Amino acid sequence: MGLLSLAIWIPIFFGVVLLALGRDEQAGAVRWIALIGSVISLLVTLPLYRGFQLGTSAMQFVENTSWIERFNVNYHLGVDGISVWFVILTAFINVIVVIASWESITSRVNQYMGAFLILSGLMIGVFCALDGILFYVFFEATLIPMYLIIGIWGGPNKIYAAFKFFLYTLLGSLLMLVALIFLYAKSGGSFDIATWHQLPLDSHTQTLLFFAFLAAFAVKVPMWPVHTWLPDVHVEAPTGGSAVLAAIMLKLGAYGFLRFSLPIAPDAAHEWSWLMIALSLTAVVYVGLVAMVQEDMKKLVAYSSVAHMGFVTLGFFIFNDLGISGGIVQMIAHGFVSAAMFLSIGVLYDRVHSREIASYGGVINTMPKFAAFALLFAMANCGLPGTAGFVGEWMVILGAVKFNFWIGFASATALIFGAAYTLWMFKRVYLGPVANDDVKELKDINAREFLMLLLLAIAVLAMGLYPKPFTDVMDASVADLIKHVAVSKLN
């Protein structure tokens, strides 16, 4: 087994072991096994960065074995500069979620931890798959553990939220399956994604394929107007579920645009870029305004995620290196920042059992250490220079200005809205005098929570202050993608 197979199957193996352990009397052992499994999974992914060869767009750490010979389906894995950081990010967030859920989950602990470890392996599989059917299997399989996480450990309306999540994302993906089967037939019986990139497709075919992929990936991102499932799901999901959903699962859709929509249907991507830009700007501006009036902290951060992911899709469809690189950097940064925001809300919810902003006020007086972390993450969510949240957004805005000044100007307004709703929430929750007895009795974060938030704070600051390791890795792959799209357009 190569590194990528280990990265996929180690967390899945540990997840299956946890499911076999059974009763809650073994919860202590379950938590430690989950932590050990997630840490090993993370350690396995680190050599991917250390051994990654810069300056080439070729797939690296490739594994290719026949899987279903009759239909020419292969177990084909590999990563390039676009995907390698997402493998590491997924494994890192999984460790954080296990630590975050240590005390808050008290029933069916083995199933909860097992679901997250299996989900982590499946999401890594999406980022590594180079075979169309393998990609689809991993892409759809991620729905199952997340559906169970929401439906079993969620809030009062968890069944409604779980069904809404499952139906929205599954229905969108059915059109993608039709597109994959069409490409299989068109390529003479190959599910190899790289082969599909070279297919000479006419304009009409490309348009149909583009919208088939759009149906799957737009819901997953989620783009406006198919974003309505996300706030409901975030509100009902347990804290760990919200963190993984925002940090990783939303990225699966955005990643799909880069691996399928742009390289397979480049002419259609150019032709319909105006639509993608319009939808992205609507998400950035309109959803930012919607976030301002939210009274539920989770719902506010959920709408914030839609606005931030609008930057990602905007960057992809302005077809320049700053835009696409900025979109990818924004995806990684949003992974750190959104996870931190949701886990911070989880820290408060574990103590007060309310997500309403009105239930708090003056938290800084009773939880000064925690408030310091929350301030850093709030600043990163605003896009403050020096934090991870700034780098990708700034690159996308620069790329957008290069593409069209007014599009760049419109996207820059999102920074104002982002600062408005994030700081407004921070002010009402953390600043001022102690608002009520619940806040008065709050105890500051313990060592476990401190470690969890510290790891995220280091990631947010490291990426904000020194983004070079991230941008260097993706440069060659992004340049090759832009060249491929541009050449296809000319032809």
| Residue 359 placed within a domain | yes
| Residue 289 placed within a domain | yes
Do 74 and 134 contact (CB within 8 A), yes or no?
Answer: yes
Expressed in angstroms, the distance from the first to the final Cα of the chain is 41
Residue 129, strand partner residues? 77
Angle at 314 between CA 310 and CA 320, to 5 degrees: 150
Euclidean distance between CA atoms 219 and 460, whole angstroms: 27
| pLDDT score of 190 more than 50 | yes
Q: Residue 490: its pLDDT value, please?
A: 46
Euclidean distance between CA atoms 82 and 395, whole angstroms: 16
Q: Residue 24: its pLDDT value, please?
A: 66
* Residue found under tokens 């439906």: 151
| pLDDT score of 491 more than 60 | no
| pLDDT score of 487 more than 70 | no
| Residue 429 placed within a domain | yes
CA–chain centroid gap for 107, Å, is 27
- State mean pLDDT over 201-228: 84
pLDDT band at residue 474 under the 50/70/90 scheme: confident
Residue 416: other Cβ atoms inside 10 A: 12
% of the chain exceeding 90 in pLDDT: 12
- State mean pLDDT over 106-126: 88
425-445 burial by CB neighbour count: b if 16+ within 10 A, else e? bbebbbeeebbeebbeebeeb
- State mean pLDDT over 196-212: 85
Q: What is the pLDDT of residues 8-43, one digit of tens each?
A: 999 999 988 888 876 666 777 888 888 999 999 999
Contacts of 487 by beta carbon, 8 Å cutoff, 6+ apart: none
Euclidean distance between CA atoms 12 and 116, whole angstroms: 9
Q: Residue 489: its pLDDT value, please?
A: 46
Interaxial angle between packed helices 109-128 and 143-153, expressed in degrees from 0 to 180 and rounded to the nearest 10: 150
| Higher-pLDDT residue of 104, 217 | 217
Q: How many domains does the chain have?
A: 1
Euclidean distance between CA atoms 346 and 453, whole angstroms: 12
SS3 content of the chain, % helix, strand, coil (to 5): 80, 5, 20
Q: Residue 235: its pLDDT value, please?
A: 82
| Residue 450 placed within a domain | yes
Residue 490: other Cβ atoms inside 10 A: 7
| Residue 182 placed within a domain | no
Do 305 and 250 contact (CB within 8 A), yes or no?
Answer: yes
Tell me whether the omega of the peptide bond preceding residue 222 falls within 30 degrees of 0, making it cis: yes
Residue 487: other Cβ atoms inside 10 A: 10
Euclidean distance between CA atoms 129 and 131, whole angstroms: 6
Assigned token pair, 127: 């980022």
* Residue found under tokens 């894995």: 77
DSSP for 17-50, written as a single string: HHHHH--GGGHHHHHHHHHHHHHHHHHHHHHHHH
| Residue 185 placed within a domain | no
| pLDDT score of 488 more than 60 | no
Angle at 173 between CA 167 and CA 176, to 5 degrees: 160
* Residue found under tokens 């073994």: 26
Q: What is the pLDDT of residues 241-300, one digit of tens each?
A: 888 888 888 888 889 888 888 888 888 888 888 888 888 888 888 887 888 888 888 888
For the chain, give the mean pLDDT. 85
- State mean pLDDT over 195-206: 83
DSSP-based three-state secondary structure for 67: strand
Q: Which of 94-108, 179-193, 216-230 has the lowest mean pLDDT?
A: 216-230
| Residue 401 placed within a domain | yes
The type of residue at 191 is: F
Angle at 214 between CA 268 and CA 74, to 5 degrees: 95
Euclidean distance between CA atoms 466 and 263, whole angstroms: 30
Contacts of 145 by beta carbon, 8 Å cutoff, 6+ apart: 115, 116, 118, 119, 122
| Residue 335 placed within a domain | yes
Q: Which domain holds residue 441?
A: 272-491
